[in-house]
Amino acid sequence: MKYYSTKNKTLRKSFREALMEGLPADNGLYMPEFIPQLSKDYFDNIQEKNILEIAFDVLKPFVREDLKDDQLKNIIHKTFSFDFPVKKIEENNYALELFHGPSYAFKDVGATFLALCLEEFYKVAEEKCTILVATSGDTGGAVASAFSKVKNIEVVILYPSGKVSDLQEKQLTTFDKNVKALEVEGDFDDCQQLVKQAFLDSDLRRKLNISSANSINVGRFLPQMVYYFVPFIEFGNAPLNFAVPSGNYGNLTAGLIAQKMGLPVRQFVAGANSNDVVPRFLRDGYYDPRPTVQTISNAMDVGNPSNFQRMIDLFPEEEIREEIKGFAFSDEVTLKAMKTVYREHDYLLDPHGAVGYLALKEYLKASKGKSIVLETAHPCKFMHVVSKIVSEDIYPAGAKELIQKEKKSVKMEVDYDGFKGFLLG
């Protein structure tokens, strides 16, 4: 399998190159040159398979030239090392819980897979590498945890001081050795700007191998195909609707590729918060990004989602409006849905999952079918919202331990020279 750039279809890079570079130099996004097909009868006995076997079948064609079977198996074993339970919300509607990993969000899957692949590739290259990540919350925790387990790769995480939740901050600042947290006296955009400047600094790049663990790296989005197969292990091969709470649209794009491989999807439904550029595109037929607005589902606060480029690369525009239905919801409506679902069905949605659930219900007004909502984060990550709904303690044991740990961060002004000095330390 080779990878081209959405801006240049004649470019051909290996999986290894696409992963290590992160982004093509032409500012497009890497895409697989073709979509492998699962056999027609793959789903006939899916209930006899487990997630590790499925992950191997799904991912192998994308990486076979760069990872040996036993390497891939080992990476899969460590990536899909936690549960992905399917829980009933109400008749016919289920939550696929993707948040039982180390940072309590689905991003653990992509971040772990990427970290383990990069570890293999840098081992062969006998080089060291520094990963730079700017985070507004959820990404940093998944990346920190994933890379804390690998060798020869340093990670520097920049986060805006005072603007992430307690638990999120502890997920960034309690590792030692190769994971360092920079607490920037600014906002998320300042963090992102410092990282961008580093990538453009040829002097720095001569002295240091830098790379990114951004969600647009193919190594992060490919493994996200795998959990879409989980409900079929439970329910068999009949087609399902999938509702996906979306921000940068990486999760949904992974689902679209899984469907092209043969996953029996009846309908994809995208749920957005007030950052509703994709639902508006699906409704009006033109793409009109707006500045990002802050919401209670803050991991989806993306005004101009990067993976839109991949979505229109996969489908012609007329088709995409059939392929995906999209709906957007305000914070007020989201909070109300969290309350109602908790009261009536005793299921606690997090603000992101709630947006997915609302989108599903909107779609089901005119349609039907057994449906799955991707529950992307544990509600305890958003206690400032969730505490309006439940009073009891919902922290898993691991999160409680983490909150007790001591934070280790380096405070920094928004100052590129200071940042560069730190990196070259």
Return the sign of the alpha-carbon dihedral for residues 362, 367, 368, 372.
Answer: negative
Nearest-approach distance from CB 36 to ligand PLP, in angstroms: 22
Pairing outcome for strands 129-134 and 210-212: parallel
> Measured between alpha carbons, how far is 350 from 17 in angstroms, rounded to an integer?
37
Nearest-approach distance from CB 160 to ligand PLP, in angstroms: 16
What is the footprint of ligand PLP within residues 233-272 (CB under 6 A)? 245-251
Cβ 170 vs Cβ 407: under 8 Å:
yes
Nearest-approach distance from CB 31 to ligand PLP, in angstroms: 16
Nearer to ligand PLP, 121 or 279 (CB): 279
Nearest-approach distance from CB 233 to ligand PLP, in angstroms: 22
> Measured between alpha carbons, how far is 7 from 313 in angstroms, rounded to an integer?
10
What is the footprint of ligand PLP within residues 338-357 (CB under 6 A)? 352
Nearest to 187 by CA among 263, 264, 134, 116: 134
Nearer to ligand PLP, 138 or 154 (CB): 138
Residue 129 to residues 153, 155, 209: CA-CA distances in angstroms? 5, 9, 5
What is the footprint of ligand PLP within residues 281-300 (CB under 6 A)? 299-300
Nearest-approach distance from CB 417 to ligand PLP, in angstroms: 32
- Neighbouring residues of 153: CB distance < 8 A, sequence distance ≥ 6: 115, 118, 119, 122, 128, 129, 130, 131, 147, 178
Nearest-approach distance from CB 156 to ligand PLP, in angstroms: 20
Nearest-approach distance from CB 80 to ligand PLP, in angstroms: 18
Nearest-approach distance from CB 354 to ligand PLP, in angstroms: 11
What is the footprint of ligand PLP within residues 297-326 (CB under 6 A)? 299-300
Among 43, 67, 80, 107, binds ligand PLP (CB under 6 A): 107
Nearest to 422 by CA among 187, 153, 182: 182
What is the footprint of ligand PLP within residues 369-408 (CB under 6 A)? 376-377
Nearer to ligand PLP, 72 or 349 (CB): 349
Neighbours of 414 (CB within 10 A): 17
Q: How many residues bind ligand PLP (CB under 6 A)?
A: 16
Among 29, 59, 105, 372, binds ligand PLP (CB under 6 A): 105
Nearer to ligand PLP, 28 or 250 (CB): 250
Nearer to ligand PLP, 105 or 338 (CB): 105
Rule CB under 6 A: say whether 273 interacts with ligand PLP.
no
User: What letter represents residue 250's amino acid?
Assistant: G
Cβ 372 vs Cβ 94: under 8 Å:
yes
Nearest to 138 by CA among 176, 97, 180, 103: 103
Cβ 231 vs Cβ 86: under 8 Å:
yes
Contacting positions for ligand PLP (CB under 6 A)? 105, 107, 138, 215, 245-251, 299-300, 352, 376-377
